[in-house]
Structures are given as C-alpha cells and as structure tokens.
Amino acid sequence: MDVPSLKLSPRSVKGKKVRALRRQGVVPVHVYGKGVDPQALEVEAQVLRRLLPRVGTNVPLSVTFEGETDENLCFVREVQRHPVTEDLLHVDFLRVDVSQSIRAEVPIVLLGDSPAVRQLGGTLLQPLQSILVESLPMNVPASFEVDASELDDFEKGIYVRDLTADPSVAILTDADEMIARVAQPRIEVVEEEAVAAEALEEGEAAAAE
C-alpha cells in the first residue's frame, strides 16, 4: 500500500488562543495512541484540505513530528469543522501498532448503472454507506466497490453478505444489512391517489343532488 505522509510541527498555543492559529491558516491537531505520548501539534490548513479527502478515516498515514525521525502509522479519528463555514477546526490522529488488529469503518462505493433505474424509472437507494471491519492496519481496505448493474428489478437488493473481502479482513457488520436497492417510482401512487380523490368527489356530488 502506498501510504501518504504528513509532517506535523510542535504547537505551544493551546485553549482559546488557537483561534489565532486558525486565522493564520494553521490547524491545531492532536496525536495519541499506542506507543506515543499525546502530542499537541499543528499543520497548515491547505495541507489537510488536500489530504483528508484522500484518506478518510480508514487509510493509514505516515506521520512524522518536527525534530523527530521516527515514523508513526496513524489514522484520522476525528475531524472538527465550523458548523457554518465548514472550515477545519481540529483533527485527531490515532497512532496504531502495525502488528495489532484494529477496527475501522470502510466506505461502500456504488459503481455502474442500475437497469431498474435506467429502464424502469426507479430511484437508487443506498441505506448503508460504510461497514465495520477488523484487520491489521495495513490490510484495511480503502473501500468496498459494489456493482449497481445487478439491480435490474425492484425485488432485488445488495446485502453485506454479497461483499467479497480478503481473508485477512473480517467484516463485522451484520451480513443481512442491505447496502442498496431500487425503489419504485412514486408516480404510480400519485395517480392512484388522484383517481381515488376524483371518485370521492363524484360520490359527494351525487349525494348532494
């Protein structure tokens, strides 16, 4: 696996004073976990904006601290954003032991076109966006890809049990949970309601006469 790298700098500013850092385009971060003392660090916001979409919470990072040569294998564990502007406020990184299994949420990506959508006018639904897995850190999948072209009618669904995982990866999410299906178009229901309403109005008119 090609592991992205990230270099962090020591941070002396803490508490409410970190607002000044953010105004300078710097994000306060925290590194904790196996074999490392909790570290208050910082990094440029533009670096994180490029990196976070690539790694999510299940792709490992090689993290180094300024002044140290040791690499730390970390996962993003929490990202705090401003509720209105979505600006980055704080990021937590969890250091892991490469020889110890971890649990991680892995996103599910739907690929292809569903015939039930394209030909029958249905709506593709994905009630399950990710699944929980357990494996060694370097074996955690970046994502699970699901072929939506298998959904060619409204009776079919794709379930967790349909996923294929490497033997080194244990899927912990219930096998019977549904990942995706195609819902019938609502127009049929609307037409039926309209007919029923029209019949009711005709009945009321006849009674009034």
Q: pTM of the full predicted structure?
A: 0.74
Taking alpha carbons only, the member of 94, 84, 88 closest to residue 21 is 88
Q: What is the per-residue pLDDT across 6-56, written as a single tens digit (0 to 9) for each?
A: 999 999 888 878 888 899 999 999 999 987 888 899 999 999 999 999 999
Average pLDDT over residues 149-169: 93
Query: How do beta strands 5-10 and 39-44 pair?
Result: antiparallel
Banded pLDDT at 104 (limits 50, 70, 90):
very high
pLDDT at position 15, please?
81
Residues sharing a CB contact under 8 Å with residue 136, sequence separation 6 or more, in sequence order: 98, 99, 100, 101, 102, 168
